[in-house]
Chain A
Amino acid sequence: MMQNLNKKRDIWTVVTIGILLIYAIILVYPLFTILKASVVTDGGFSLEYFQKFFGKKYYYGTLFNSLKVTVCVTLLTAVIAVPLAYIMSTIKIKGSGLLQGLIIISMMSPPFIGAYSWILLLGRSGVVTNFMKDTFGITTPDIYGFTGIVLVLTLQLTPLIYLYLMGAFKNIDNSILQAAESMGCTKVKKMFKVVIPLLLPTLLSGALLVFMRALADFGTPMLIGEGYKTIPVLIFNEFISEMGGDDAFAAAISVIVIIFALTIFLIQKLVVNKKAFSMMSLNPIEAKKEKGLKNILAHGYVYLYVALAFLPQLYVMYTAFLKTSGRIFVDGYSLESFQIAFERGSDAMINTLKLGLIALFFVVAIAILIAYVTVRRRNTLTNLLDIISMVPYIVPGSVLGIALLLSFNKPPLMLSGTMAIMIIAYMIRRLPYTIRSSAAMVHQISPSVEEASMSMGASNLKTFFKVTLPIMLPSVISGAILSWVTIISELSTSILLYTGRTKTMTVAIYTEVIRGNYGTAAALSTILSAVTIISLLLFFKLSGKKEVDI
């Protein structure tokens, strides 16, 4: 009897294996390198570096600092985002479209610009600080350290949970709420007995994302944390230290962070899987006009949040147009800062553009292929690919940066200092998100559309390029814009990988802030923000909706 050829051993198997190989080289190998570096001393196995970490409060204290920051930020974002999403979905808010757009923009801009803006406002010589001191003689609370980090990250990350929740609200059928009301469950009771339980799985997923971002964030604690060191800052310092960085120790800390993140990830999965259910709404909740106090409170809450999240960044833009004398802002307006920004930063701008576009191309191409094989060709190989491609989700950017540097610093793969290593880093970091949104799109295409194409004589490859891809294209393009925005605002990996020739805009802004050239920093930030905003406007226009799939 002839063997069955029809076992789908087709072009897609080749694609799957090809991508797996790429991942093996650019992700699995570096992670093993970092693991090896952390446990091997002088050619033998040793836990010396782990002992060092847990032996001194200076080191293990950062783990607690990170934990404290991360937990606080996660809880605060949830507490702020739930009412925000509830109000926006159930009550008609004036200008809600614009507000939604501003919330998304505030989320998509680099976090360290947020940190920088709060320093400008509430820092030692911030405008608000000085104003309060001069006018009322009041000393404003210290923005540096724990408070500042939590403030900036909370405002920055609240939109993440908020957007997740908005999606979940759309899936709650209004009749469920009406059914609850008809059974005598109303108002607050309805909120706690029906609405929140329905939102819980989504809330937990959003919270996990916030947790991972807050844990991995480097720019914010670096700028506003001052003495308050978190893990990414420690890793960076140990690795880059001017007195000769200790690679192996940085590797050991990285391993600890990964184990920590992995634990949280698994716990979350366990909880969510227990509570998972699916919802489909034919009759979504509609925002209703409210009157009186309720209306005022609802508007107040939303406007206050958007103001806090967005105005500081607007202030940064404002300062870009101020006249400067040396490093200090003086009275009057000028475009001098922009002039200097273009003089000093044009290389960085070109680099950002180049790196961003190349990385974007690979991210989109690979994400589409991975999404397709993992959805349409479920087998052991594609499951493996699915898992591997999601690993970067829990690997902080700085850890990935170190892993890549340790792995590719000698021939045959001498990549450190090149553009290639930065492109690889951006690719790995962005892929999990792009894969997820592409996979969602593939799920929406009925397999029979592809079968129809095959039955009409189109080969598997032709079917993909002539049918599947064109159907996916609109969402692929909007997904690409979002990827683009995240790639150009990346800092934590870039700061480790860049050299003089591959400096990016985020790195340039960061260095200008550190050097105290606030005018130039503001001008560069403004340019970056402008690019972000224009990209997002384009995204809104193309996708025709005021939502983003993060």
Chain B
Amino acid sequence: MSVSITFKDVVKKYGNNTVIPALSLDVKQGEFFTLLGPSGCGKTTLLRMVAGFNSIEGGQILFNEKVINNQPPQTRNIGMVFQNYALFPHLTVEKNVAFGLENRKVPKAQIPEKVEKMLEVVQIANFRKRLPQNLSGGQQQRVALARAIVMEPDVLLMDEPLSNLDAKLRIDMRNAIRDVQKKVGITTIYVTHDQEEAMAISDRIAVMNGGILQHVGTPQNIYHRPANVFVATFIGRANIIERPCHFEDGKHVIKMSEGYSVVMDNLDPNYRERSVKISIRPEEFVFSNDHEGIDAVIESSIFLGLNTHYFVRLDGGEQVEIIQESNIEKILEPGSRVKLKVKEEKINVFNRETEKSITKGVVNDAEPK
């Protein structure tokens, strides 16, 4: 049954080019775990190392306590769903699903029953006699999923399985995948570059960049308390500005502009540098009604129904994006002068040099405890 997966200082090299320097990570049993990152960050490489299609140049990967580094893919007992589905074009839906069972020496009599049940689970039973070329993208996706989990593998690996589907189908399918995964309770590693998809589907997410884990945590924590500037900007939108700060009475005072400072009591008290980087999400700005706030000029606006986006020039010269719930009154014209405040409890503050978060509340499983 389902296993936990441990990565111990795993290294991937192509010739002399190190793609993943030394990666350590624990994926819990039954967990839906997502590797998220921009293209080329090493997420698919890592997934294929778990599958056995890429060699491992250093460190270990363990299923439960067992090192699997040198096991061929055939014996790892994995189920894999590929970006292009990789269905066998010469076999019907049924035969595609039965393929793995036949290899695993499941008694012949049991195969049809298992196949049938799985086709029901992914709701594709009506198409059992069809060839893959006669299925739509979403149906092919369901077959690929059924084929991978019918063998009751220890681990389910999915490599950007939804990227070839259209937007609406993508949402339907990600819910279907999530449901099926919960139903069978199988440890799953899912690779995607789509952060919304990752947040919707995962128990935990690992944000990767340049072969290094940036932040491993729950979707909420990664969004609200990103471990560094990269994570803040990669997940959702974030305006990054730099401001002077000083430490007094156990609190940090950040000077946002002349006459407007915010006092933060949730920052690392050991941080004593004279300035910080701040990440403010577009919804964390508010238009100020009093005389306090950062002076700013509206440059342009986009009305999107529920929300209105403003692009605003701060008096410090930075351009930032602001999202406000649309109201019945007129949208602010370009050129309008406004004063902005921030939602102090929501913004994140980072070390100016290392760009690591100094805000309390970051839960990053990638850091050694």
Contacts and interface: CB of A to CB of B under 8 A. Distances in A.
Contact of A7 (B55, B83, B84, B100): B55
A358 interface: no
A458 B72 contact: no
A6 B70 contact: yes
Interface stretch (A45-53, A206-214, A369-377, A448-456): A448-456
B74 interface: yes
Contacts of B70: 2, 4-6
A451 B74 contact: no
A2 B151 CA distance: 30
B147 A4 contact: no
A454 B86 contact: no
B86 A457 contact: no
What range describes how many residues of B lie at the interface?
A: 20 to 34
A453 B70 CA distance: 19
B84 A457 contact: no
Nearest to A8: B55
A462 interface: yes
A457 B90 contact: no
B80 interface: yes
A459 interface: yes
Contacts, number: 81
Interface string B59-81: 00000000001101111111110
B74 A459 contact: yes
Interface in A1-27: 1-2, 4-7
Given A4-B70, A470-B90, A456 B151 contact: yes
Contacts of B72: 5-6, 454
A454 B88 contact: no
Contact of B82 (A5, A448, A457): A448
Contacts of A466: 99
B56 interface: yes
Contacts of B57: 4
Interface string A432-462: 0000000000000010110111111111001
Contact of B103 (A1, A4, A462): A462
Majority-rule SS of B interface residues: loop
Interface in A176-199: none
B104 interface: yes
Contacts of A462: 103
Contacts of A28: none
Contact of A448 (B77, B79, B86): B86
Interface in B273-328: none
A452 B52 contact: no
A67 interface: no
A376 B104 CA distance: 25
Given A448-B86, A470-B90, A455 B78 contact: yes
A6 B70 CA distance: 6
Contact of A467 (B58, B79, B88, B147): B88
A457 B69 CA distance: 17
Given A452-B80, A471-B88, A458 B74 contact: yes
A456 B150 CA distance: 10
B136 to A, nearest CB: 19
Contacts of B58: 1
A236 B212 CA distance: 68
B103 A446 contact: no
Contact of B99 (A6, A448, A453): A453
Q: Which of A1, A7, A457 has the most CB of B within 10 A?
A: A457
B185 interface: no
A134 B11 CA distance: 89
Contacts of A455: 51-52, 73-74, 76, 78-80, 148, 157
Q: Which of A6, A7, A452, A455 has the most CB of B within 10 A?
A: A455
B258 to A, nearest CB: 57
Interface in B115-151: 147-148, 151
Interface string A470-481: 110100000000
A454 B58 CA distance: 23
Contact of B52 (A6, A7, A449, A456): A6
B334 interface: no
Interface string A147-185: 000000000000000000000000000000000000000
- Scoring A2, A446, A452, A458 by chain B CB atoms within 10 A of each residue's CB, the highest score goes to A452
A452 B157 CA distance: 11
Contact of A456 (B53, B89, B103): B103
Given A4-B55, A455-B78, A467-B88, A448 B100 contact: no
A456 B84 contact: no
10 contacts: A4-B70, A5-B72, A6-B55, A446-B86, A451-B80, A451-B86, A454-B74, A456-B79, A456-B104, A458-B74
The 3 closest A-B pairs by CB, nearest first: A456-B100, A457-B103, A448-B86
